[in-house]
Structure 1
Amino acid sequence: MYVCICNALRDRDLAQAASHPDATSAAKVFQRCAARPKCGRCIPDVTEIISSVQISRDDTLNEAAE
């Protein structure tokens, strides 16, 4: 599904960029996608994707530590 229409970025593209350890903000995720937010309507969705990827990554790390 397209999340950022201005840059034609899909949820999976953004999730992949958000999975990088230094992708802690929407600006950094856009940077990893070689794009810049234009209208800004997608920023809340990108922030939500970052949170969900971080939670998933933390859960994976916790399971590995057990």
Structure 2
Amino acid sequence: MSENPKKFRLDRTAFHARNASQQVNYGKEYQNLTWQERMQIHKYLNSIAYGYDMDNPPRMDRTAFRTKSRK
């Protein structure tokens, strides 16, 4: 399921220093979205930030991790 690229936008140059009261109001527009809609936004922004296709994300490199049983 591919999202419309114009629906979301990641501006890497945008940064605004906010105080605590401004920060509280910052996320209000996202509070009306369902958790599924917020997850779609998250997936899209991650794909842009890390440079991968949203429909074909890279697999986790499991060789970097090791498991062993605890006694």
TM-score, structure 1 normalization: 0.38
Task: Give TM-score, length-normalised by structure 2.
Answer: 0.36
Relative contact order: is structure 1 or structure 2 higher (C-alpha 8 Å, sep ≥ 6)? 2
Between structures 1 and 2, the one with greater strand share:
1
Larger Rg: 2
Greater helix share, structure number: 1
